[in-house]
Amino acid sequence: MRILITAGGTREYIDPVRFITNASSGRMGYELARAALKAGHKVTLISTVNRDSSLLKQADIIKVESAADMLEAVKKYFVECDCLIMAAAVADYTPAKESKTKIKKEKSTLLLKLKPTVDILKWAGKNKKQAVKGKNKIIVGFALEDTNLLDNAEKKLKKKNLDMIIANNVNAIDSVKTTIYVRTPDTEWLTFENKSKSTLASKIIKMIDQY
């Protein structure tokens, strides 16, 4: 199976030196890439961070920065993949206009206008019938929530036409161990409590293999 994985938090530039981002470390995306390789799959990793250069010898690593960059890369490599795992934390908003020069500090209040980014996961859910070898692509999403975790994750699973959703809370950010909740459209929630991200990645890949 060829698995396409995204990792890290995107950067949305305000001017040449400042950007909006989030706290995502990319750890889970890289662990998923390692687990997929160990299971014998071919891996393309689209990432905003470089956590492990040793993966360069085993996986195709595509470096991106912004949500627009990631969308372009996902669309490019989506055609040949059997499964997409969107582990990246893609910005929901980006500056409506990027300043070509550094914005100078003034005494007056600076108002920043933002516009929505394209929802990559929703796009993938709509296009998963771009079949490889006659089989629809498997689309796996992540839901990081600070309130109503399972309810919000379940809504995301249905709304974006996903095959699997992995829910976790904000304590998961850059942690070595975390708790995740996994569900597909045909199953109830499965809980994997306080496990290392490498262990969780292996479990997720095994579930994908059985899908």
Residues designated as active site: 22
What's the chain look like in SS3? CEEEEEECECCEECCCCCEECCCCCCHHHHHHHHHHHHCCCEEEEEECCCCCHHHHHCCEEEECCCHHHHHHHHHHHHCCCCEEEECCECCCEEECCCCCCCCCCCCCCCCCCEEECCCHHHHHHHCCCCCECCECCEEEEEEEECCCHHHHHHHHHHHCCCCEEEEEEHHHCCCCEEEEEEECCCCCCEEEEEEEHHHHHHHHHHHHHCC
Q: How far is CA 23 from CA 115, 141, 201, 208, in A?
A: 20, 18, 20, 27
